[in-house]
Amino acid sequence: MATETSEDNRDAAVPFDDAPAELKARVEQLKRRACAAIEAEREALLDLSRRIHGNPELAFEERLACGWLSDYLEGRGFDVQRGVAGLDTAFVATLRAGLGPVIAVCAEYDALPGVGHGCGHNVIATAGVGAGVGIAATLKETGGTVQVFGTPAEEAGGGKILMADRGAFDGVDLAIMVHPAGVEAVEFPVIAMAELEVEYHGRAAHASATPEQGINALDALVTAYNAIAQLRQHIHGTSRIHGIITDGGLAPNIVPAHASARYYVRAATERQLEPLKERVLACFRAGAEATGARLEYRWVGCSYSELWSNPVMAAAYIANARALGREPLPADRVRERFAGSTDMGNISKRLPAIHPLISISPTPIPGHSIEMAECAGGLLGDQAVLDVASMLAMTAIDALARPGFVERAQAAFEVRRTEDEANTET
């Protein structure tokens, strides 16, 4: 997914061990204050997490969660703008204290059909607002701005992308969030993704009496389905193709005149995704050619990009996680095939960002599962809310209180962007 890290980029990731003792002591005091402020909100935060968990809402329908989170932040002194970027369930909560960096904490809160919060977004959302409160407790001393971004539709629709395209992230210096999982990691494969909807139009006929008069749209889709299964043997190990049939006909004795499917196509980078999309379309065209059904297709929603984890921010996050007794796995210990996609990837290619994972289960479990939903609403999920809020707040304080932190993070981001542009040219 990523290019080899340059020497300059590795240097940028070195923690601030050479900081004067007085500065270190001041930063640590600010971090303790932030964590104390979060601890004081323990019951309110856990109640909020449980309410969101118990009322799962799908993409762009997160009215309860959006309202509860906005109300919570408004009650803690934030200026909350609702309906941001033309999205009913998006918000930005802002607190300013003079000049300084602008730090965005991203909160997701959409759920999954059938499994509720099987991706643990109740943890993300509540930890995000908790981090905002922790940062707010130190902002008068550090200066700068904290913004909590309520970002809908991460699972389907790309809320962050829509918000960024419509200017919501303009002026933000750094963006941070943490995602619950079955493993603890600061960096893992986040790959590019595009969503495809296909329809086949055939001709209905009596499936027993006059099958020769029909054109079977389902056969066209099954032909494509099998072709894609064969294609999977010959794509890169980091790529993914998976989908569902959303319509396969009306009755067994009617030749299906219509069939449809939804597919996700993923590759390590946006650049690798484009040719794979064409290979997938070739499979669907083959179904039409084989049966005579007419194919319609459309790439829907926002395409997700790979994620650039900022090394300066990641180094600070690791130190803060260790301070709370958590030990994220290094990138080379995370399985290559453990990969997903998120609209945070698109944000990370606009400005410096991180998207670590925090474990909410005693043993590794699959995401998007009933087991993950149970953990997100359990004791380990509760602890993750508080720990993530503290780790994000402490990382934000590093950015706000350590001279040169933001500049080093931005320099590392520019190195990555230059490397990506060089790869594009070659």
Residues 25 and 164 in one domain: yes
CATH number of the domain encompassing residue 414: 3.40.630.10
| b/e code 352-376 from CB counts within 10 Å (16+ = b) | bbbbbbbbbbeeebebeeebbbbbb
What is the pLDDT, as a whole number, of residue 319?
Answer: 95
Residues 135 and 217 in one domain: no
pTM assigned to the model: 0.92
- Res 49 pLDDT > 80: yes
Residues 154 and 53 in one domain: yes
Contacts of 322 (CB under 8 A, 6+ apart): none
Question: Which pLDDT band, with edges at 50, 70 and 90, does 58 fall under?
Answer: very high
Domain count, the chain: 2
Question: Which pLDDT band, with edges at 50, 70 and 90, does 425 fall under?
Answer: low
Q: Summarize pLDDT for 360-374 with one digit per residue, the tens.
A: 998 888 889 999 999
Burial of 93 (0-12, 13-18, 19+ CB in 10 A): buried
What is the pLDDT, as a whole number, of residue 8?
Answer: 37
- Res 12 pLDDT > 70: no
What is the pLDDT, as a whole number, of residue 82?
Answer: 98
Question: Which pLDDT band, with edges at 50, 70 and 90, does 423 fall under?
Answer: confident
Question: Which pLDDT band, with edges at 50, 70 and 90, does 337 fall under?
Answer: low
pLDDT, average across residues 69-93:
98
Residues 216 and 91 in one domain: no
Q: In this structure, what token pair is assigned to residue 407?
A: 């500049």
Q: Which of 304, 339, 354 is the last residue of a domain?
A: 304
pLDDT, average across residues 304-309:
96
Q: In this structure, what token pair is assigned to residue 172?
A: 């933000």
CA 326 to chain centre: 21
Looking at the domain assignment, is residue 1 inside a domain? no
Residues 287 and 312 in one domain: no
Residues 45 and 102 in one domain: yes
On whether the CB atoms of residues 117 and 74 are closer than 8 A, the answer is no
Looking at the domain assignment, is residue 103 inside a domain? yes
Q: How many CA atoms lie within 13 A of 396 on its CB side?
A: 39
Residues 279 and 361 in one domain: no
On whether the CB atoms of residues 387 and 395 are closer than 8 A, the answer is no
What is the pLDDT, as a whole number, of residue 166?
Answer: 98
Looking at the domain assignment, is residue 2 inside a domain? no
Q: In this structure, what token pair is assigned to residue 44?
A: 């309110």
Domain containing 224: what range?
Answer: 192-304
Q: 105 φ, ψ to 5°? A: -105, 120
Calpha distance 282→134 (Å, rounded): 52
- Res 5 pLDDT > 50: no
- Res 104 pLDDT > 60: yes
CATH number of the domain encompassing residue 235: 3.30.70.360
Looking at the domain assignment, is residue 64 inside a domain? yes
Residues 18 and 145 in one domain: yes
Residues 117 and 245 in one domain: no
pLDDT, average across residues 266-275:
96
pLDDT, average across residues 299-324:
96
Return the ∠ at Cα 279 (arms to 276 and 282), rounded to 5°. Answer: 155
